[in-house]
Amino acid sequence: MTTPAATIVVPTRGGSRRLPVLLRSLEAQDTDDFEVIVVVDGDIDGTADLVAEWAQRLPVRSLVFPENRGRAVALNAGAESARGDLLIRSDDDLEPGPGLVSGHLARHRNATEPIGVVGLTTNQYPDSPFARAYGRAADRRFLDDALGLPADRTWRLWAANVSVQAQVHARLGGYDARYRRYGWEDVDFGYRLRQAGIPVLVAPEVMAVHHGASTTTAVRALRALHSGAARETFVEIHGDLALPDAPGGRGLWDRLVGAGAAVATERTLRAYGPAVDAAARVLPPRIAEKLVALGVESAGLAGVRYPDRARSRF
């Protein structure tokens, strides 16, 4: 059996409805010099059977955990089982173009030193009050900011569509399994790349469409709550100086966000979100955007200040 140049590692939980879009995109790649490992983090919906069906059309196999162990553990298991020299990490809800694998490979082959590559993602939203009031504009701002980041800050972009040599992944010890809330195991890995002196390059040519974007204010705010809580794990591990942009300020908006954070819990956010989405149908766009932003930023700050409020598991 020929050893592939790249291994695509896909962590998933409850992904049987999302994965076909990704797998069809991987079937259409302009190179076949890769394999796919889907790491099923507790099979709750027949994902392993789906992967077995796709194995007749694509070089894909699954690793199945008997129970939920977290995304970091899933990513590390995929890396340990990989045969490719390059590890491409992909979330299960992405739709990459046909040049995803060849683009990541080219970036690394053209580098004179070990690097990390970030492909970025663009969110695809259904038409909704949240998307119109906040989601699409926030994504445009994020993409503009990401493409303009200086080289010493691109590590913050490490996320759903990235690649690194397998030997670099092993040298860093993989992803940190202490992250069990939403996100930040990625940021942690990007930070450790930077600390190791490994440049993180942004590659717009391998950008992928993300189909799992938040579609309501409640979902976006709940993710912000959990992300804020996971941020504190990062600070505990690496210290306050690793993230100099501490949340909170003294302006009127900062005070409003602080007041919102004081009462933001999973329960209150689930009530606030639908109310804002309903109001966004009739309010002026600028006001609707501010109301969504208030909920999201308050939730994020609440996660930082009161991490125990993030009770769900992702």
Q: Estimate the share of the chain in helix, then strand, then coil, as percent rounded to the nearest 5.
A: 50, 15, 35
Query: How confident is the model at residue 306, as a pLDDT?
Result: 94
Rounded to whole angstroms, what are the CA distances from 48 to 54, 63, 95, 116, 235?
A: 10, 8, 20, 30, 36
> How many beta carbons lie within 10 A of that of residue 141, not counting itself?
10
Residue ranges in 32-99 assigned as alpha helix (H): 47-54, 71-81
Q: What count of other Cβ atoms lies within 10 Å of the Cβ of residue 145?
A: 11
Q: What is the pLDDT of residue 145?
A: 94
Between the alpha carbon of residue 93 and those of residues 98, 160, 225, the distances in Å are: 16, 9, 21
Closest Cα partner for 193 from 213, 223, 216, 173? 173
pLDDT at 248: 64
Instruction: Please give the backbone phi and psi of residue 39, each rounded to the nearest 5 degrees, phi first.
Output: -95, 110
| DSSP designation for 218 | H
pLDDT at 2: 87
How far apart CA 290 and CA 115 sit, in angstroms, is 39
Looking at residue 232, its pLDDT comes to: 86
CB 7 within 8 A of CB 87: yes
Number of neighbouring beta carbons within 10 Å of residue 255: 12
Domain ranges of the chain: 6-210, 217-309
pLDDT the model gives residue 313: 61
Helix, coil or strand: residue 71: helix
Q: What pLDDT, on the 0 to 100 scale, is given for residue 1? A: 65
User: pTM (2 decimals)?
Assistant: 0.93
CA distances from 56 to 43, 51, 52, 119 (A): 20, 9, 7, 28
Tokens coding 173: 């010890």
Nearest to 36, CA basis, from 15, 22, 17: 22
CATH number of the domain at 6-210, out of 3.40.630.30, 3.40.1360.10, 3.20.20.140, 3.90.550.10?
Answer: 3.90.550.10
Query: Tens digit of pLDDT per residue, the chain (314 long)?
Result: 689 999 999 999 999 999 999 999 999 999 999 999 999 999 999 999 999 999 999 999 999 999 999 999 999 999 999 999 999 999 999 999 999 999 999 999 999 999 999 999 999 999 999 999 999 999 999 999 999 999 999 999 999 999 999 999 999 999 999 987 777 999 999 999 999 999 999 999 999 999 988 899 999 999 999 999 988 889 999 998 888 776 666 789 999 999 999 999 999 999 999 999 999 999 999 999 999 999 999 999 999 999 999 877 65
Residue 246: its pLDDT value, please?
62
> What's the residue count for the chain?
314
182 contacts 234 by C-beta, under 8 angstroms: no
Phi, psi for 117 (deg, rounded to 5): -125, 130
Amino acid occupying residue 24: R
